């Protein structure tokens, strides 16, 4: 399932209720989700009426719809089949209108489209490709004809991206995929610190091996062929009842080819780099998630450079902690979330500009995003949210975020030996902002969804109100 699929938030609600344990390696497959939905269906927990309707929606999509694609809650535009072979095409369109008061353009409009093709043989083989198209106002980097990242080119506000295109094979506990897809590892979806899908998808070979309470994941990716930039990461998850622990490493390096130093999933990247290579950017991380019948607690640690021997150099680390609580309320379900994240200055940077922990060419000025958290270095963020779901069709939400961003969040120049490093956090000119938002969505049938919201952004140089309405057509 791609990032943003509606099933992720539904599954996370049942996890917050203490009824599921979700693994930290994403994206999830439809086969995984089908097993979890069947387990929920057999669960003796007292579901409320709204939760039962949400579970029915999951069953329609992943259980009934696994064999009858046209009966899915989100059916494709068209399907054909021959025995275990099946193919489908799908499309959805999303139009958004915004009005602002206080700064900038008083009105904006955006349009998005996604077009997908899937070929599948049973549960063992799948080929999927997706093309995403966006039309937005000509502002910022989207002016005239230019590049907004190493992969995307802008033409007067129009951009497109072939963001998913892969072949996957699955047999028993092993799954292997080759091609372009998103990869995200971490205890909480959307808040990953080290391996995040907030930026570009990866051209990669990915492996996942599940053995009882252990799961091993790895990715070997090419970031930019023109600059010989490569990326590798691996992760081990261990589940011990309600507690799940994960450890992981990632490396960005230059080479004429993919180096065997980082090709094998079971190895120690940092040691291999020290022994066999010169100056790669190797990062480490770990996370933990503890589930209970009334809340889920999660935390993650990112280590870029940890100074343990007294060297005069900065600590380059980041960490995040959060909690989720879900309860039946007002005839529906209420989900509450609180998170704090912090990344120190110079994290993700490197002595070699080509080894920055960034996607594509590794060029921040060219629009290439971080491979880790989009928050970036020298910044922290508090977020809180409440979401009330009276049934499977309607949703209301409140959200708040407070950010502080220092000089090192805008100036990504790496630290130079001999210069000061014991700086205040955040450093220099700190820009503070608060963002408040409220909104809701309504699904009409299986193909139409309306959403609307209001918000206030209170930043260092502007105070701006906004209103937004959207219409999504799932064809």
Q: What is the largest CA-CA distance in the chain?
A: 68
Question: According to the model, what pLDDT value does residue 306 have?
Answer: 84
Q: Select from 343, 368, 338 the least CA-distant residue to 353.
A: 368
DSSP state string for 107-125: EEEEEEEEEEEEEEETTTE
Question: According to the model, what pLDDT value does residue 105 have?
Answer: 64
Cis peptide before 426 (omega within 30 of 0): yes
Question: According to the model, what pLDDT value does residue 365 have?
Answer: 83
Question: According to the model, what pLDDT value does residue 166 have?
Answer: 97
- On whether the CB atoms of residues 252 and 231 are closer than 8 A, the answer is yes
Q: How far is CA 182 from the centre of its chain?
A: 8
Task: Say whether 432 sits in a helix, a strand or coil.
Answer: strand
Both structure tokens of 49? 């009426």
Contacts of 281 by beta carbon, 8 Å cutoff, 6+ apart: 251, 252, 253, 350, 352, 355, 356, 357
Question: According to the model, what pLDDT value does residue 467 have?
Answer: 93
pLDDT 10s digits, 130-169: 999 999 888 777 888 888 887 888 898 899 899 999 999 9
Cβ–Cβ contacts within 10 Å for residue 190, how many? 19
CA 255 – CA 263 distance, rounded (Å) = 13
What values do phi and psi take at 376, rounded to 5?
Answer: 80, 175
CA distances from 45 to 17, 48, 51, 241 (A): 10, 10, 11, 18
- On whether the CB atoms of residues 397 and 384 are closer than 8 A, the answer is no
CA 160 – CA 155 distance, rounded (Å) = 10
Task: Say whether 64 sits in a helix, a strand or coil.
Answer: helix
Question: According to the model, what pLDDT value does residue 446 have?
Answer: 85
Q: How far is CA 162 from the centre of its chain?
A: 17
Q: Select from 21, 28, 15, 350 the least CA-distant residue to 175.
A: 28
Cβ–Cβ contacts within 10 Å for residue 226, how many? 8
What DSSP designation does 28 have?
A: P
Exposure of 393 by Cβ count < 10 A (0-12 exposed, 13-18 middle, 19+ buried)? middle
Stretch (H or E) spanning 407? helix 407-410
CA 319 – CA 284 distance, rounded (Å) = 12
How many helices (H) and strands (E) would you count in the chain? 6, 23
Both structure tokens of 118? 């899937």
Residues present in the chain in total: 475
CA 302 – CA 347 distance, rounded (Å) = 9
Both structure tokens of 240? 């011990």
Task: Say whether 472 sits in a helix, a strand or coil.
Answer: strand
Q: Any idea which residue has 């069947």 for tokens?
A: 38
Contacts of 208 by beta carbon, 8 Å cutoff, 6+ apart: 25, 174, 175, 176, 215, 216, 217
Q: Select from 452, 448, 445, 441 the least CA-distant residue to 474.
A: 448
Under-50 pLDDT residues of the chain: none
Q: Select from 258, 252, 245, 184 the least CA-distant residue to 214.
A: 245
């Amino acid at each position: 399932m791609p990032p943003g699929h509606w099933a992720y938030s539904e599954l996370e609600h049942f996890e917050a209720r203490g009824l599921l344990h979700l693994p930290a390696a994403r994206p999830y497959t439809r086969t995984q989700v089908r097993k979890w939905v069947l387990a929920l269906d057999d669960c003796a927990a007292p579901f409320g009426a709204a939760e039962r309707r949400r579970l029915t929606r999951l069953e329609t999509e992943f259980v009934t719809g696994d064999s009858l694609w046209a009966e899915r809650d989100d059916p494709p535009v068209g399907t054909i089949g021959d025995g275990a072979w099946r193919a489908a095409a799908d499309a959805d369109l999303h139009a958004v209108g915004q009005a602002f008061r206080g700064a900038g353009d008083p009105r904006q409009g955006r349009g998005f489209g996604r077009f997908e093709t899937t070929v599948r043989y049973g549960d063992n083989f799948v080929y999927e490709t997706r093309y995403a198209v966006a039309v937005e106002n000509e502002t910022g980097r989207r002016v005239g004809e230019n590049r907004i990242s190493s992969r995307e080119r802008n033409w007067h506000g129009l951009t497109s991206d072939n963001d998913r295109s892969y072949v996957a094979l699955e047999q028993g506990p092993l799954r292997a995929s080759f091609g372009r897809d998103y990869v995200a590892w971490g205890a909480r979806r959307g808040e990953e610190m080290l391996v995040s899908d907030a930026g570009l998808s990866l051209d990669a070979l990915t492996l996942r091996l599940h053995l009882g309470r252990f799961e091993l994941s790895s990715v070997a990716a090419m970031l930019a062929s023109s600059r010989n930039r490569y990326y590798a990461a691996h992760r081990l998850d261990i589940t011990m009842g309600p507690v799940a622990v994960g450890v992981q490493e990632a490396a960005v390096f230059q080479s004429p080819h993919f180096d065997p130093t980082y090709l094998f999933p079971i190895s120690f990247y940092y040691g291999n780099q020290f022994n066999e290579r010169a100056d790669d950017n190797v990062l480490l991380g770990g996370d933990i998630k503890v589930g209970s019948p009334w809340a889920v607690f999660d935390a993650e640690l990112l280590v870029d450079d940890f100074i343990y021997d007294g060297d005069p150099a900065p600590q380059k680390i980041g960490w995040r902690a959060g909690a989720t609580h879900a309860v039946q309320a007002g005839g529906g379900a209420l989900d509450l979330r609180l998170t704090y994240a912090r990344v120190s200055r110079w994290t993700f940077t490197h002595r070699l500009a080509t080894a920055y922990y960034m996607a594509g060419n590794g060029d921040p000025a060219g629009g290439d995003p971080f491979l880790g958290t989009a928050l970036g270095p020298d910044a922290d963020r508090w977020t809180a949210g409440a979401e009330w779901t009276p049934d499977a069709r309607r949703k209301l939400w409140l959200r708040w975020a407070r950010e502080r961003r220092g000089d090192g969040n805008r100036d990504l120049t790496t630290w130079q030996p001999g210069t000061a490093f014991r700086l205040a956090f955040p450093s220099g000119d700190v820009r503070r902002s608060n963002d408040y938002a409220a909104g809701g969505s309504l699904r009409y049938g299986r193909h139409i969804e309306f959403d609307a919201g209001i918000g206030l952004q209170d930043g260092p140089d502007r105070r701006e109100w906004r209103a937004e309405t959207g219409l999504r057509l799932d064809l």
